[in-house]
Amino acid sequence: MAEKKTTTKKAVTKKEVSLDVPVYSQKGSSSGSIALPASVFGLKWNSDLVHQVITGMLSNKRAGTAHTKDRGEVSGGGKKPWKQKGTGRARHGSSRSPIWVGGGVTHGPRSDKDYSKKINKKMAVKALYTILSRKFADGKVLFVDALALSAPKTKDAAIIIKDLASVEGFAGVASKKHTAVLIAVPETTPALKKSFANLPGATVITTGELSALTAFNAAHMVFVDPKSTIGVLSAKMK
């Protein structure tokens, strides 16, 4: 009788991501390095937490202004359309009925419905850190020392985007999709905000405005002045 061959499965070890990353200039050249905090950029993926926070934030964005009138709110219909018997037609008590043209709407959207959901602060921040950690592990986060724009000029902003796209792995930064790149800065200036306003793929926000939803929707992320931005990110949990 032939002996059965026994096979042993090799243990798959997950490749660890180094938290020491290069910092680039706005021209796309290396200008130093920085050590990232593991509490912000080194977390494991938690799909349940991210889903709960993202769906909650989307629900909170719903205006809830859609409204249809039911049979008690439409005008007319105070009188019985015709007598109950003798006409040969079906019985009707009011033209406000939903089966009549111009009547009320059954189970339509109502403005008195509240779609908001409570999201704990620690949950929202932890979801943000989880998303940042995932994007960093996927090579979608770039760190830039500074963005120098003295005057509002779209041409200068386009050159910066083109130079950043030259960094290996970040060619998608130059995409025209509205979610191509999210640029987080310590504070915005009129020159910075207006220069990137006409670029369809780039969005500029302050690090304090960064949320799980905005980070989740961005294909790439650029953090300007890493020491300041990381300090703001770390302070969100305090």
Per-residue model confidence as pLDDT tens digits over 18-34 = 789 999 999 999 888 99
User: Which is nearest to 45 in space by CA: 142, 125, 127, 139?
Assistant: 127
Checking if the pLDDT of 69 tops 90, the result is yes
Per-residue model confidence as pLDDT tens digits over 162-185 = 999 999 999 999 999 989 999 999
Checking if the pLDDT of 13 tops 50, the result is no
What's the confidence (pLDDT) of residue 15? 54
Give the end-to-end CA distance of the chain in Å, rounded to a whole number.
Answer: 68
What's the confidence (pLDDT) of residue 64? 85
Checking if the pLDDT of 42 tops 90, the result is yes
Query: What is the rounded CA–CA span in Å between residue 163 and residue 165?
Result: 5
Mean pLDDT of 78-85: 91
Checking if the pLDDT of 8 tops 80, the result is no
Task: Look at 7 and 145; give whichever has higher pLDDT.
Answer: 145
Checking if the pLDDT of 77 tops 90, the result is no
- Which percentage of the chain shows pLDDT scores above 90? 75
Mean predicted lDDT score pLDDT of the chain = 90
Query: What is the rounded CA–CA span in Å between residue 133 and residue 42?
Result: 5
| 152-186: burial string, b at 16+ Cβ within 10 Å, e else | beeebbbebbebbbebeebeebbbeeeebbbbbbb
User: Which is nearest to 29 in space by CA: 142, 175, 116?
Assistant: 142
Give the pLDDT band of residue 12 (cuts 50, 70, 90): very low
Q: Does residue 12 sit in helix, strand or coil?
A: coil
User: Which is nearest to 174 in space by CA: 220, 223, 138?
Assistant: 220
User: Which is nearest to 113 in space by CA: 74, 71, 67, 70?
Assistant: 67
Torsion angle, CA of 202/147/225/143, rounded to 10 degrees?
A: 50
Task: Look at 44 and 17; give whichever has higher pLDDT.
Answer: 44
Mean pLDDT of 141-163: 92
- Which percentage of the chain shows pLDDT scores above 70? 93
What's the confidence (pLDDT) of residue 99? 93
Query: What is the rounded CA–CA span in Å between residue 218 and residue 199?
Result: 15
Per-residue model confidence as pLDDT tens digits over 98-114 = 999 999 999 999 988 88
What's the confidence (pLDDT) of residue 3? 57
Checking if the pLDDT of 147 tops 80, the result is yes
